[in-house]
């Protein structure tokens, strides 16, 4: 009689590694080293306090999740980042499960899960609250269901895929790209039979019904997300050549792991064992082609596929050494992944002070730019954008509280971006700030809240922009920051807006 293993005994390597991933984020989700809230977290929080069926730059799921998180856990750094950290641990565990489903044994499971644990882009995405932390998990879970669909030859699994795809669309519209890649992958392989049945179409209907509230919101608001997506790549993104995009992938997913994910591509396209699941390889190539066509500088756009490549690559390596009875080879391979991950850890997470991070990355010669404006800091943008926000709001509060009482009653803060607006709102009660408006993304849709323009504190606009819009102004503060993009940010007291704010509000929106 075969003894049935307990859940922990069967999965203990991947459970332990998933737990390590969780603890790693819990430890770094503090401000002990001087890092605070990330730039986008303020905006997600603002959206979470104004629940809707859609927003200019993202669907409604992430704000809804954050609203519940706020109600249950509060607004501390640890609380805000609890679910992204949990999503990261779940991703590691799911990668191990997928490796096992594809035929990988303990060695392959350990290698694949360690690669996901220490992959720089994935570490970054799980280190602060955003829809991206959940997108990677949703993509990988969808791929897992596709693997089960093929392995069990059970078309009814399409129902689950439809539900997860709908949730994915409510989280981020780029789920569409995964869906298109999946259909192309099915058509290009023998698995095309799975789209010629009723369950596939039922799944499509389910996904459509889940995303329908957001579609209706888009229609009633004039499809603002389409305008945002078009402008965002042009205004914020860097234009890279195909070679530089490939190099960005190598750096962003750890150069030590290149043999692993390259082996994953070989597994799906050239090995007999991967033939049944080749559509995953086609999804990867399709989305990589999209990055090339867009000349995209954002390596995170394809993050949801690397755990699958790591899983497949780990199986290939396991099969190569399976007949070698020398344990030192396995230990060496595992050590190589761990050491490679630790070397790049300061590149991904706030494990060193900003000053030491700057010195360390300079020493190893590593820094990347993913958006325009990120060159304002010597640190990677995703670390630099966690610095000095509360210090900036203290400066803003000083400017406001120095106003005469009569002016304070009429003053409104107008911010240049969702980040400055969101940070002023987030810390507003603590520092006694007035209402905040902005023309950026969904702040523009929320309106000007009765502001007249008689007296405004301009927050983030440069002096030329202020002088063109107001009859009187005075620069009250120019913020100083050594490592963040906030260095040089201006705070002005401006009076007598030259235009009627009601008449111009529609025309001054900034969707980017």
How high does pLDDT run on average in the chain?
Answer: 93
Going by the DSSP 8-state scheme, the letter that residue 309 receives in this structure is H
Checking if the pLDDT of 118 tops 80, the result is yes
Average pLDDT over residues 25-48: 94
> Which residue has better confidence, 294 or 46?
46
247: Cα separation from own chain's centroid: 20
Checking if the pLDDT of 467 tops 90, the result is yes
Q: What is the pLDDT of residue 370?
A: 66
From residue 39, how far is each of 28, 261, 426 by CA, in Å?
17, 31, 11
Classified as helix, coil or strand, 456 is strand
The residue length of the chain stands at: 512
Query: Residue 461 phi/psi, 5° resolution?
Result: -75, 150
Query: Residue 311 phi/psi, 5° resolution?
Result: -60, -50
Classify 450 in phi/psi space as left (phi over 0), alpha (psi -120 to 50) or beta.
left
Give percent of the chain above pLDDT 70. 96
> Which residue has better confidence, 244 or 213?
213
- Which helix (H) or strand (E) segment holds residue 458: the answer is strand 455-459
| Spatial distance between the Cα atoms of 149 and 146, rounded to a whole number of angstroms | 5
Reported as a pLDDT band with limits 50, 70 and 90, residue 1 is: very low
Reported as a pLDDT band with limits 50, 70 and 90, residue 422 is: very high
Checking if the pLDDT of 382 tops 80, the result is yes
Checking if the pLDDT of 302 tops 70, the result is yes
pTM for this prediction: 0.93
> Which residue has better confidence, 325 or 428?
428
- Nearest 10 degrees: Cα torsion 361, 367, 373, 379: -10
Checking if the pLDDT of 449 tops 90, the result is no
| Spatial distance between the Cα atoms of 457 and 459, rounded to a whole number of angstroms | 6
Reported as a pLDDT band with limits 50, 70 and 90, residue 373 is: low
Secondary structure, 3-state, 2-41: CCCCCHHHHHHHHHHHHHHHHHHHHHHCCCCCCCCCCHHH
Angle between helices 131-152 and 61-73 (to 10 degrees): 110
Reported as a pLDDT band with limits 50, 70 and 90, residue 234 is: low
Average pLDDT over residues 9-14: 88
CA angle 234-458-51, nearest 5°? 65
| Spatial distance between the Cα atoms of 180 and 289, rounded to a whole number of angstroms | 13
Checking if the pLDDT of 308 tops 80, the result is yes
143-152, 240-249, 283-292, 471-480: which range is least confident on average? 240-249
Secondary structure, 3-state, 366-410: CCCCCECCHHHCCCCHHHHCCCCHHHHHHHHHHHHHCCCHHHHHH
Q: What is the pLDDT of residue 239?
A: 75
Which two structure tokens, joined as six digits, stand for 5?
A: 């293993």
Q: What is the pLDDT of residues 338-366, one digit of tens each?
A: 999 999 999 999 999 999 999 999 998 87
Mode of pairing for the β-strands spanning 455-459 and 412-415 = parallel
**What does 224-290 look like in DSSP terms, one character per residue?**
HHHHHHHHHHHHTB----HHHHHHHHHHHT-GGGHHHHHHHHHHHHH-GGGGGGHHHHHHHHHHHHH
Residue 326: CB atoms within 10 A of its CB come to 9
| Spatial distance between the Cα atoms of 377 and 172, rounded to a whole number of angstroms | 28
What's the Rg (C-alpha) of the chain? 25
Q: Whose CA is closest to 93, among 160, 20, 178, 171?
A: 20
| Spatial distance between the Cα atoms of 500 and 497, rounded to a whole number of angstroms | 7
Mode of pairing for the β-strands spanning 455-459 and 470-478 = unpaired
Mode of pairing for the β-strands spanning 490-497 and 455-459 = antiparallel
- Exposed (0-12), middle (13-18) or buried (19+): which is 295, by Cβ within 10 Å? middle
For tokens 């790549």, the residue is 233
Reported as a pLDDT band with limits 50, 70 and 90, residue 235 is: low
| Spatial distance between the Cα atoms of 436 and 426, rounded to a whole number of angstroms | 10
Average pLDDT over residues 392-411: 95
């Amino acid at each position: 009689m075969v003894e049935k293993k307990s859940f922990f005994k069967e999965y203990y390597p991947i459970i332990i590694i998933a737990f390590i991933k969780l603890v790693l984020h819990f430890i770094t989700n503090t401000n002990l080293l001087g890092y605070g809230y990330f730039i986008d977290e303020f905006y997600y929080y603002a959206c979470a306090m104004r629940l809707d069926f859609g927003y200019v730059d993202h669907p409604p799921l992430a704000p809804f999740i954050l609203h519940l998180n706020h109600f249950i856990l509060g607004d501390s750094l640890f609380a805000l980042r609890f679910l992204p950290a949990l999503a990261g641990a779940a991703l590691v565990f799911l990668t191990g499960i997928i490796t096992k489903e594809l035929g990988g044994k303990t060695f392959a499971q350990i290698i694949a899960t360690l690669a996901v644990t220490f992959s720089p882009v994935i570490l970054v995405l799980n280190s602060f609250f955003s829809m991206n932390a959940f997108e990677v998990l949703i993509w990988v879970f969808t791929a897992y269901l596709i693997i089960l669909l093929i392995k069990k030859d059970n078309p009814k699994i399409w129902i689950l895929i439809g539900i997860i795809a709908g949730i994915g669309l409510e989280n981020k519209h780029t789920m569409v790209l995964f869906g298109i890649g999946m259909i192309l992958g099915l058509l290009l392989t023998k698995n095309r039979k799975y789209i010629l049945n009723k369950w596939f179409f039922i799944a499509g209907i389910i996904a459509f019904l889940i995303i329908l509230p957001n579609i209706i919101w888009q229609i009633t608001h004039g499809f603002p997300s389409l305008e945002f997506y078009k402008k965002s790549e042009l205004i914020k993104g860097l234009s890279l050549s195909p070679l530089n995009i490939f190099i960005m992938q190598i750096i962003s997913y750890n150069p030590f792991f290149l043999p692993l994910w390259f082996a994953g591509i070989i597994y799906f396209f050239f090995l007999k064992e991967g033939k049944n699941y080749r559509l995953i390889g086609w999804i990867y190539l399709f989305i990589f082609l999209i990055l090339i066509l867009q000349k995209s500088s954002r390596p995170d756009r394809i993050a949801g596929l690397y755990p699958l490549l790591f899983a497949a690559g780990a199986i290939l390596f396991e099969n190569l050494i399976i007949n070698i009875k020398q344990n030192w080879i396995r230990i060496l391979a595992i050590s190589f992944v761990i050491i490679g991950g630790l070397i790049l850890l300061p590149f991904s997470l706030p494990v060193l002070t900003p000053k030491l991070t700057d010195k360390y990355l300079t020493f190893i010669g590593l820094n990347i730019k993913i958006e325009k404006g990120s060159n304002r800091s010597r640190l990677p943008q995703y670390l630099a954008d966690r610095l000095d926000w509360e210090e900036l709001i203290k400066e803003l509060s000083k400017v406001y509280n120095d106003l005469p009482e009569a002016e304070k009653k009429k003053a409104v803060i107008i911010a240049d971006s969702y980040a400055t607006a969101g940070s002023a709102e987030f810390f507003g009660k603590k520092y006694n700030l007035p209402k905040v408006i902005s023309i950026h993304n969904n702040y523009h849709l929320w309106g000007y809240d009765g502001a007249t323009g008689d007296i405004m504190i301009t927050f983030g606009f440069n002096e030329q922009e202020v002088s063109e819009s107001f009859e009187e102004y005075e620069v009250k503060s120019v913020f100083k920051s050594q490592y963040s993009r906030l260095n040089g940010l201006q705070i002005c007291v401006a009076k007598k807006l030259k235009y009627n704010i009601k008449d111009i509000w529609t025309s001054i929106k900034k969707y980017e």
